[in-house]
Amino acid sequence: MNSASSCLHELFEHQVQRTPLATAVEFEDRRLTYGDLNHRSNQLAHYLRESGVKPETRLGICLERGMEMIVALMATLKAGAAYVPLDPEYPQDRLQFMAQDAQISVLLTTSGIADRLQLGGNHRTVLLDLDKDRQVIGACSQQAPGVQLSGENLAYVIYTSGSTGRPKGVQCTHRGVVNLLYGFHRRQPWAAGARCSFQGSLSFDVSVYEIFSALIFGGTLELVPEPVRVDGWEMSRWLSARGIQSAYIPPFMVATLCEWAEQWPGKLQLKKLLVGVEPIENRLLLRLIASVPGLKIINGYGPTETTVGATLYEVGTESPEGTPAPIGNAIDNMQIYVLDRQGCPVPAGVAGELYIGGAGVARGYIGKPELTAERFVPNSYGEQPGERLYCTGDRAKWLADGNLQFLGRMDDQVKIRGYRIEPGEIAARLLEHPGIAEAVVMVRDDLAGEKTLVAYYTAAKNGATQHAGEHDDDSVGPNQLRAHLVSRLPDYMVPAAYIRLDSFPLTSSGKLDRKALEKPTGVAYPVSAYEAPRGDVETALAMIWAEVLKIEQVGRHDSFFNLGGQSLLALRVIFLVNDYFFTELTVRTLLENPVLMDFAEALRSFSGRTPSELERVAKIGLMVRRMTPEERKAALRAAS
């Protein structure tokens, strides 16, 4: 079979013929064999075809993690359509825009999600949990619809952050995905029967690699449960318990995975690990290789516009420890150019802009011909007419050994925990608030050791009168602005802090002086009306939160994540709490109980102590923490 011209679902069907009884997908206590997944997706595909779905039709998939998500995805492709992931956790405003912009004709979802979102529009909604729809789908043929497609047909549309204030839909073809998978396979082959994890969100393009690398090469796709996939420690535990052999994990989890592997040698069975999407220190990857025998690590790079990945770097012990890992060189049928401002190639060691050509280059953006023409340009170095290059906006240089080194962005675009974010989009949504005159959003990396989004703004003259640094429920401040953005943007795009300025600092040339923008203090973070912690347990927890978040005061109604808390800081809190109270809480406890008083109650429930015993532990701990080093030494001498 010629894989280069094949479609994803056709390659899956060939794997079904080889291993129909092998397990294709597992999630918690459920499993589907390759034959089961094929039959169920065929039935849904026939139902979609009978509903008018044709090649190039775009279908929205808005589902929670689970078997139905994979069935819906495969059925969409088998029906000849392209899938558009709509994350049910996104704000309704953003989902409505995406559904309308993509002009989806069918939405695959469940009754609970549909009732909550009410997306409107002219599309038809199929409720996969409704008995009536399930019975009709279940009566359809289990044979493949046999739709005639080519590799140039559309496979999916994924939305990325846009500098204009609205996300933009990137159109990727079957050919691009197949080239990606076989390009990786030729460098690092997948083993049939390997247990492969699916950690990402369907709206994150790495999911394309995770799902299809398992299902077209005969692996078992293991869906990571929702609470586990955002917690590095729990993710490490899950990878070990499930015997996962091939996985992707985001860079912020690598350090935790190293600690797990070193603490429990031999538990991880990983043979192949993909990292990437953000720069990552080589020393961490080498440390992980040293702790997990037989592990091979790939550092991948590629914008959504070049179908997930365009380059890969196989981490080896000869790599320099002190630098970010290189991003490698082009996979098969992809071309990489580092060009100067005149569009000419630069020599090794000289920085330039990264341009990408080849089979993985996307069609362009939905409904944005001007932006498509700006970012997808003719390839003057190509051999075939009509070839294009994608202008990444990334800076890079060639190393002497033929690998690429990523050097950052040429504009303000950033990546935080794997998500590509245009600060301009966040600023544009801030400006929709009537109380805002000007807004700038930037990433600071000098806050608690993690990249943090911070918004700076000036108030409209007829709007808020709040003085810089003060909270006022009747004016525009952190609480109001966060609430405004939460209803319009995904959580990962909502700034942690909001700083009001009388005017923006400017350089001598009249440009924004970013270096002069102040670091946020405690009053820049959204808070609830302050009420002091009650009892020694809440007081001790408030002290730990304040220490980790580097703020002065925490009230009992404050939310950890509203105060600027993030995943790595949550791990630090749990470590300190367990050390302080001699407990074994997980990050999940904080994720499910982010408000201080609720977290304190959860601690009481899971501690195994009576409330009075826990208060005594907290009281003793507070006494010790408030002592000076000299007082502690004196107390130890007296005790001995």
For range 346-369, the mean pLDDT: 95
Q: Which residues are bridge partners to 595 per DSSP?
A: 559
Q: Is the pLDDT of residue 43 over 50?
A: yes
Cα 218 from Cα 12, distance rounded (Å):
9
Q: Give the CA count within 13 Å in the CB-facing half-sphere of 309.
A: 33
**pLDDT per residue as tens digits for the range 479-499:** 889 888 888 888 788 888 899
Q: With 50 as the cut, is the pLDDT of residue 179 above it?
A: yes
Cβ atoms of residues 76 and 82 within 8 Å: yes
Q: What is the pLDDT of residues 296-342, one digit of tens each?
A: 999 999 999 999 999 999 998 666 666 789 999 999 999 999 999 99
Q: Residue 472: is its pLDDT beyond 60?
A: no
pLDDT for 141 equals: 96
Closest CA to 313 of 301, 328, 335: 328
Mean pLDDT of 564-570: 74
What would the pLDDT profile of 231-285 be if each residue is shown by its tens digit? 788 899 999 999 999 999 988 788 889 988 998 999 999 999 999 877 888 888 9
Cα separation, 501 vs 416, in Å, equals 25
Vertex 540 angle, CA 536 and 543, to 5°: 140
Closest CA to 549 of 565, 571, 536: 565
Token pair recorded at residue 70: 């994979």
Whole-number pLDDT of residue 71: 98
Q: Kindly report which listed range (133-137, 543-547, 622-626) carries the lowest average pLDDT score.
A: 622-626
More confident residue, 414 or 398: 398
Residue 115: CB atoms within 10 Å: 10
Which has the closest alpha carbon to 157: 90, 100, 78? 100
Backbone angles phi, psi at 217, to 5 degrees: -115, 15
Give residue 396's pLDDT.
93
Tokens linked to 141 = 């043929």
Residue whose tokens read 């590799």? 151
Q: Is the pLDDT of residue 468 over 60?
A: no
Residue 99's pLDDT is 94
Q: Identify the CA nearest to 613 among candidates 583, 589, 579.
A: 583
Kindly report, residue by residue over 83-95, the tens digit of the pLDDT.
999 999 888 889 9
3-state secondary structure 576-589: HHHHHHCCCCCHHH
In 3D space, the residue among 237, 226, 231, 256 whose CA is nearest the CA of residue 590 turns out to be 231
Q: How far is CA 317 from CA 189, 286, 299, 397, 495, in A?
A: 20, 7, 14, 22, 38
pLDDT of residue 447: 66
DSSP string covering 129-170, please?
T-HHHHHHHHTS-SS-------TTSEEEEEEE--TTSS-EEE
Instruction: Answer for the pair 315, 286: CB distance below 8 angstroms, yes or no.
Output: yes
| Lowest pLDDT segment from 156-160, 308-312, 402-406, 575-579 | 575-579
At 61, the amino acid letter reads: I
Res 471 pLDDT > 50: no
Q: Which pair of tokens denotes residue 282?
A: 């080589």
Any residues with CB less than 8 A from the CB of 57 and at least 6 apart, and which?
79, 80, 81, 82, 105, 106
Torsion of CA 224, 227, 230, 235, to 10 degrees: -50
What integer pLDDT is reported at residue 449 of this predicted model?
A: 59
Give the whole-number percent of the chain exceeding pLDDT 90.
51
Helix (H) or strand (E) segment spanning residue 441 = strand 436-444
Question: What's the predicted TM-score (pTM) here?
Answer: 0.78
pLDDT of residue 639: 46
For the cut 70, the answer to whether the pLDDT of residue 473 exceeds it is no
Q: Which residues lie below 8 Å from residue 48, measured CB to CB, with a gap of 6+?
A: 59, 75, 76, 79, 81, 106, 126
Under 8 Å between Cβ of 197 and 250: no
- The residue-averaged pLDDT of 524-532 equals 77
Residues in the chain: 640
The confidence score (pLDDT) of residue 323 equals: 76
- In this prediction, residue 320 carries a pLDDT of 63
Q: Which of 190-199, 222-231, 274-283, 522-531 has the largest mean confidence?
A: 190-199
Whether the per-residue pLDDT at 628 is higher than 70: the answer is: no
Do the beta carbons of residue 204 and residue 229 sit within 8 Å?
A: no
Domains assigned to the chain: 1-150 (3.40.50.980), 174-412 (3.40.50.12780), 422-524 (3.30.300.30), 535-639 (1.10.1200.10)
Average pLDDT over the chain reads 87
Q: How far apart are CA 319 and CA 80, in angstroms?
A: 44
pLDDT one-digit tens code per residue, 573-627: 888 888 788 888 887 788 788 889 999 998 888 887 887 877 887 777 666 555 5
Q: What is the 3-class SS of 248-315, one letter each residue?
A: ECCHHHHHHHHHHHHHCCCCCCCCEEEEECCCCEHHHHHHHHHHCCCCEEEEEECCHHHCCCCEEEEC
CA distance 573 to 25: 35
H/E element, 128: none
SS3 421: strand
DSSP 150: -
Give pLDDT, residue 329: 95
Sign of the torsion angle spanned by Cα atoms 345, 418, 186, 379 = negative
Q: Give the confidence band of 505 by pLDDT, cuts at 50, 70, 90.
A: confident
Token pair of 241, please? 């318990």
Q: What is the mean pLDDT of residues 86-105?
A: 92
Mean pLDDT (whole number) for 380-394: 91
